């Protein structure tokens, strides 16, 4: 069994757990700490350190994977759609490594979720192009081709009717605009049809907390591509970050 800690940084909470990266099971409890107000880099790093401590991962040098809601390239965070702008251009991976006193694996949150689904979930063994989207505060996306992750797809930011897609179609947009399932599904229909025409995927996977209510909105969509809920939902980021940390 290869153990690793997976940490998933979000706008409201920072979640973590110890993971068996062979089976994809959580080993022990999942801990969630509130994201510090304003989401400033140093405060977030401190909270991650505290979380790793609470998970018992400080002393034993267990591998750590961290996922974050922004473009992550060469260890730097290059965007900040729903987090503090201070992250843009920051050597974020190094900050975490300094605090945790070890190398970590640092990755975009949707990419971690997509990787988890391809290793342990709805995309396991699926050939061709799988496109996972997470519907939350924003829209995250992950492209997986024959099990290989193509990072930083950022398909939540394609333009639809001249507007950023996630601003109209995320779960936060549903809440903000008080949309019922039917009204939200209309926006989702447009969004997924556009993705279909751009990428011709073989499978869509829908993640994020709202995917637990998939029966309320996925049957309202008419697409060429099969569309299924994620298996791991809110734990997918933790599992994927942990798996990537050990190269599982
Ligand atoms: C960000 C992505 C992130 C997604 C989900 C988007 O606003 O641009 O990097 O994966 O939100 O958190």
> Are 33 and 130 found together in one domain?
no
In a domain, 25, yes or no: yes
pTM over 0.85: yes
Determine the pLDDT at residue 170.
97
Phi/psi at 30 (5° precision): -90, 130
* Residue 177 clears pLDDT 90, i.e. is over it: yes
Report which protein residue has its CA nearest ligand 1's atom 5. Answer: 140
Same structural domain, 241 and 219: no
pLDDT score for 98: 97
What are the backbone dihedrals phi and psi of residue 150, each rounded to the nearest 5 degrees, phi first? -105, 105
How far apart are the C-alpha atoms of 129 and 120, rounded to whole Å? 17
What mean pLDDT is predicted for residues 103-115? 97
| pLDDT of amino acid 160 | 96
Q: Which residue has the tokens 């290059």?
A: 78
pLDDT at 198 over 80: yes
**Ligand 1 mean position, distance from CA 132 (Å):** 12
Are 84 and 176 in a shared domain?
A: no
Nearest to 195 by CA among 220, 219, 230, 224: 224
Tell me, yes or no, whether 225 and 239 share the same domain: no
pLDDT of residue 217: 98
Claim to verify: residue 55 and residue 90 sit in the same structural domain: yes
Whether 95 and 142 share a structural domain:
no
Question: Are both 84 and 163 inside the same structural domain?
Answer: no
pLDDT of residue 234: 84
CA nearest to 105, candidates 213, 203, 192, 6: 6
pLDDT at res. 81: 85
Q: Is residue 120 part of a domain?
A: no
pLDDT at 245: 97
Q: 63 and 9: one domain?
A: yes
Answer whether residue 118 is part of any domain.
no
Domain that holds residue 23: 3-111+235-246
Tell me what pLDDT residue 59 has: 77
Residues 71 and 161 reside in one and the same domain = no
One domain, residues 184 and 242: no
Q: 135, 85 in Cβ contact below 8 A?
A: no
**224 plus 239 within the same structural domain:** no
Pocket of ligand 1 (CB under 6 A): 69-71, 79, 81-82, 108-110, 134, 138, 140, 154, 156, 166
Mean pLDDT of the chain: 96
Specify whether 131 is located in the same domain as 225: yes
Mean pLDDT of 111-116: 98
Q: Decide if 173 is inside a domain.
A: yes
Q: Of the candidates 99, 121, 117, 82, which has an alpha carbon nearest to the alpha carbon of residue 44?
A: 99
Residue range 118-132, pLDDT digits in tens: 999 999 999 999 999
Q: How many angstroms separate the CA atoms of 59 and 134, rounded?
A: 33
Which of 9, 67, 88, 109 should be mutated for ligand 1, with most atoms under 8 A from CB? 109
Asked if residue 51 is part of any domain, the answer here is: yes
pLDDT of residue 129: 98
Asked whether residue 117 is assigned to any structural domain, the reply reads no
Report pLDDT for 104: 96
In a domain, 45, yes or no: yes
> Tell me, what CATH number does 175's domain have?
3.30.420.40
**What is the count of structural domains for the chain?**
2
Q: Within a domain: residue 52?
A: yes
Predicted pLDDT at 60? 78
pLDDT tens-place string over residues 39-98: 999 999 999 999 999 999 887 789 999 999 999 999 999 999 888 999 999 999 999 999
């Amino acid at each position: 069994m290869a153990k690793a800690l997976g940490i998933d940084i979000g706008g409201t909470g920072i979640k973590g757990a110890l993971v068996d990266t062979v089976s994809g099971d959580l080993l022990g409890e999942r801990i969630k700490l509130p994201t510090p107000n304003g989401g400033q880099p140093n405060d977030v790093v401190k909270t991650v350190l505290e979380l790793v401590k609470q998970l018992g991962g400080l002393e034993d040098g267990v591998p750590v994977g961290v996922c974050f809601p922004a473009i992550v390239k060469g260890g730097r965070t290059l965007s900040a759609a729903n987090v503090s702008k201070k992250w843009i251009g920051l050597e974020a991976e190094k900050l975490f490594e300094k605090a945790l006193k070890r190398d970590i694996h640092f990755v975009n949150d949707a990419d971690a979720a997509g990787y988890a689904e391809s290793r342990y979930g709805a995309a396991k063994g699926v050939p061709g192009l799988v496109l996972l989207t997470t519907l939350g505060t924003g829209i995250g996306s992950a492209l997986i081709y024959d099990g290989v992750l193509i990072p930083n797809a950022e398909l939540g930011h394609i333009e639809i009717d001249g507007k950023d897609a996630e601003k109209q179609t995320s779960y936060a947009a549903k809440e903000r605009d008080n949309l019922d399932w039917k009204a939200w599904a209309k926006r989702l229909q447009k969004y997924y049809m556009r993705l279909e025409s751009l990428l011709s995927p073989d499978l869509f996977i829908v993640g994020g907390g709202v995917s637990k209510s998939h029966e309320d909105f996925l049957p309202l969509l008419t697409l060429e591509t099969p569309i299924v809920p994620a298996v791991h939902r809110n734990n997918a980021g933790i599992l994927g970050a942990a798996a990537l940390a050990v190269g599982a």
